[in-house]
Amino acid sequence: MSTVLVLNGPNLGRLGSREPDVYGAANLDDLRTLLEASALDGVSIDLRQTDDEAELIHWLYEAVDERMPVILNPAAFTHYSYALRDAAALVTKAGLPLIEVHISNPHARETFRHTSVVSAIATGVIAGLGFDSYRLALDFVTAGTPD
């Protein structure tokens, strides 16, 4: 059994009620259900959310130590957290995929959202596709995983 870490940053615990016009009406439990249904046999989904930068950083260390691929929605940390970027770089430098995902398309929103300090060290970025951003990232990180 291989595990994919699906990490979500601040305010994403409020999905479902937070700005549904931007993020939709579904919540993180719905996202977990979607990803579990899409996962190949033998792949487990470990979906977590925190509002705490340090906790998110420590989860990235865990990904390195346990050799887990990462799907990361850094939420607002995307736009300014060099500490998170440096921790995310440890993942990709260790040869593990880390896909930055966003539910909305930050480039179509306020100017401060146009900058990501994470993208340059990510394996790839998927944005603007709702929960499909995560689903496509899951397809990518598990491609080649035997059924």
Instruction: Establish if 78 lies at the interface with ligand DQA (CB under 6 A).
Output: yes
24, 103 Cβ separation under 8 angstroms: yes
Question: What residues does 46 pair with on adjacent strands?
Answer: 5
CA distance 63 to 91: 7
Instruction: Establish if 11 lies at the interface with ligand DQA (CB under 6 A).
Output: yes
Stretch that binds ligand DQA, among 26-34, 64-72, 99-107, 138-146 (CB under 6 A): 99-107
Choice between 76 and 90, CB closer to ligand DQA = 76
CA distance 104 to 22: 7
Pick one of 113, 119, 123, 130: the residue that binds ligand DQA (CB under 6 A). Answer: 113
Stretch that binds ligand DQA, among 29-37, 40-48, 55-63, 97-105 (CB under 6 A): 97-105
CA distance 143 to 138: 8
Pick one of 104, 119, 142, 145: the residue that binds ligand DQA (CB under 6 A). Answer: 104
Catalytic residue check, 23:
yes
Helices (DSSP H) in 1-147: which residue ranges?
20-23, 28-38, 53-66, 82-93, 132-142
Choice between 81 and 97, CB closer to ligand DQA = 81
Active site residues: 23, 102
